[in-house]
Structure formats: structure tokens, C-alpha cells
Amino acid sequence: MDAIKVDSVTRFYGEHTAVDDLSFTVNKGHIHGFLGPNGAGKTTTMKMIAGLLPAHRGQIQINSKPLEQNINELKLELGILLENPPLFQDMEVREYLDFVARLHKVPKDQIQKSVDYAIEKLRLGDVAQRLCGNLSKGFKQRVGIAQAIVHNPSIVILDEPTVGLDPQAVIEIREFIKELKEDHTLLLSSHLLHEVSLVCDEVTIINKGKLVVSGPVEEITNNFNKQAQIEVSAKSLSDEQIKKIENWFFIDKVILGNNDKEEVSFQLSLSSINDHRHECLKNLMDINVEVISYKQQKMSLEDLFIRMTKGAQ
């Protein structure tokens, strides 16, 4: 079932189109990574999903209900942390979480329980009586996540939750995010692609407000790897053989690498979406290329992101 469905959403800022006909879905109980270069429209999209900004075209559905028509009801289903945690500097952590719980209409008899849940989940017990303004950046970020979950929403939206944190804090936040998956659906934007690949089940990549790709991480990387680079080493490679290879329909281009007397290496860039790796090897044999090694270059999410966003530019 879809927790979030973004359907052909467009948002303008004056003449500028920040989000352009964007569609993707976030499945219930998953951690969904939301990637894109700076200015791609991630924060704008997240703000629209959280009901902070209306879409100029298209529709957003939360738990199968249209957001625009049920905005106040659905705001209870959403917890959001934008890039900077919205903390009142003069409030103590517990007092602040209590206030946020009341803002989100948590019943009076459950406020204490909700605040305790958020404090326990984010391990804020030691700083519960300290002023938000006196906390370190890592703790401020934790309190930011705590305020997003204090009213126990089914969907949590986190915009760059690890930005500006030290490596230890990044690891901690990653663990918290993984733990949150047990009770919430998460939409998470980050520049740290390694981070996303470690915690996310699904990913959506956007560039200049437009969708590049969306789906389960494994499926996307597998699909992409099928059409990726193959590194080949052979005893020799003549110009005639290169021309033949370039004529195969699934070959995008042949990139020649090191060439010495005993071994020649080259890269084959496969353009087709279907998997032609086996066929490619068979064809190389047929044209008498004496293959020494044949290895597919596996793409990480980072390679994928760079290639896709660059390609879209």
C-alpha cells in the first residue's frame, strides 16, 4: 500500500519551475531515499508532501487520501524535520517535546507517554532538562527527529538529517533512522549517497524538478548495471573487430584502454535496457577476440546518481 503518492505534481516560484510534473510513490513501512543535486526541488517536494506548500498542479495522496482536501487530518499522520531543526532556544527539551505534542493534538492523558517515547527512542534522557539552545549540533538534530515522531505519525519526513554532523553522530542518526522503520514509513533526503544506500529500501532521484528514476534500490542498480560498462582484456583487437563490435545494436561505444604487445584492454558500454552480457561475450568469441578477462563494472548508488543526474543535465 502507498503511504505517499505524488501524482504529476508541479510547483512554480514565479517564473521558475521548481518541481515539474513529478510522480513517485513511497510504500508503507519502507525507508525511501530522496536524492537530487542542490536545487533539484527536494525540499520543495518535501514541503508539499508535509502540507507546508500547496502544489500548483497535480495531487499528493497520504495513506490514499488527497492531502489538499484532508490537510488538517493528514498533518497528524506526518512528522517532518526540515534541514534546520525548528527548536525554541529558550525551551528545555522535555518542555519543547511536550509543546510539539500538544500542537499536534495528542490527547492530554497520552502526552507524557508520547514525550517519553520520543526521548527514549532518540536517547535524549540525559539532556531532557537542558535548554535546546545549549545543545550540541548532534543533539539538536536528535531533538529535531524527536519532535517529528513525538505525535507518533505513520510517516516521517527527514530532510538532510545528517548534514553538518561529525561521523560518530552520522552513525548514530543512521541507527535511529533504521529503528524508526519499525513503526514509521520514512522519506529521507540526503547528499550522503553511501548513507542512503545503507538505510534505504527505495529511492527516488530527481534533477531540475523532474523525475529521473524511482523504485527499489536493488532493482534500479541491477537494471542500470545490465546496461553498464564491461571491462574486457584480450590478446589483441584489430580495427576491423572494433568496427564489428560497434555495429552490435546493444553496444553504445567501445573505449580503448591500455594497449601493449601481449594484452589489450577495452571497455564496452552497453546501451540497451535488456541484459546482453552473455550475448556480448558470445559475439566476441565469434569474431575471434581472444578474451582473457571479462568483468562487469558494478555501479554503486553514488555512480548511478552522478551518471543519471549528469545525463539529465
Query: The C-alpha cell of 90 is what?
Result: 529558550
Least Å distance, CB 33 to another protein, is 21
Name which of 151 and 276 has its Cβ closer to another protein. Answer: 151
Cβ-based burial of 70 (10 A; exposed 0-12, middle 13-18, buried ≥19): middle
Which CA distances in Å does 109 have to 98, 112, 251, 264? 12, 7, 66, 74
Q: Which residues pair with 11 in a beta bridge?
A: 19
CA distance 79 to 154: 8
Least Å distance, CB 114 to another protein, is 14
Least Å distance, CB 178 to another protein, is 24
Name which of 76 and 306 has its Cβ closer to another protein. Answer: 76
Q: Which residue has the cell 529500501?
A: 201
Give me the DSSP letters along 167-222: HHHHHHHHHHHHHHTTT-EEEEE-S-HHHHHHH-SEEEEEETTEEEEEEEHHHHHH
E-strand ranges in 50-163 read: 57-62, 65-66, 78-81, 155-159
CA distance 189 to 203: 9
CA distance 261 to 247: 26
Least Å distance, CB 151 to another protein, is 9
Name which of 80 and 213 has its Cβ closer to another protein. Answer: 80
Name which of 90 and 175 has its Cβ closer to another protein. Answer: 90
Least Å distance, CB 58 to another protein, is 16
Q: Which residue has the cell 513511497?
A: 26
Name which of 39 and 54 has its Cβ closer to another protein. Answer: 54
Name which of 104 and 181 has its Cβ closer to another protein. Answer: 104
What are the backbone angles phi and psi of residue 38, rounded to the nearest 5°?
-55, 135
Least Å distance, CB 312 to another protein, is 28
CA distance 297 to 277: 12
Least Å distance, CB 105 to another protein, is 6
Least Å distance, CB 271 to another protein, is 44
Name which of 147 and 221 has its Cβ closer to another protein. Answer: 147
Name which of 150 and 304 has its Cβ closer to another protein. Answer: 150
3-class DSSP state for residue 284?
helix
> Taking Cα atoms as reference points, which of 183, 140, 133, 141 lies closest to residue 159?
141
Which residues would be at the binding site for another protein (CB under 8 A)? Answer: 50-54, 71-73, 75-76, 78, 80, 82, 84-91, 99-100, 102-105, 147
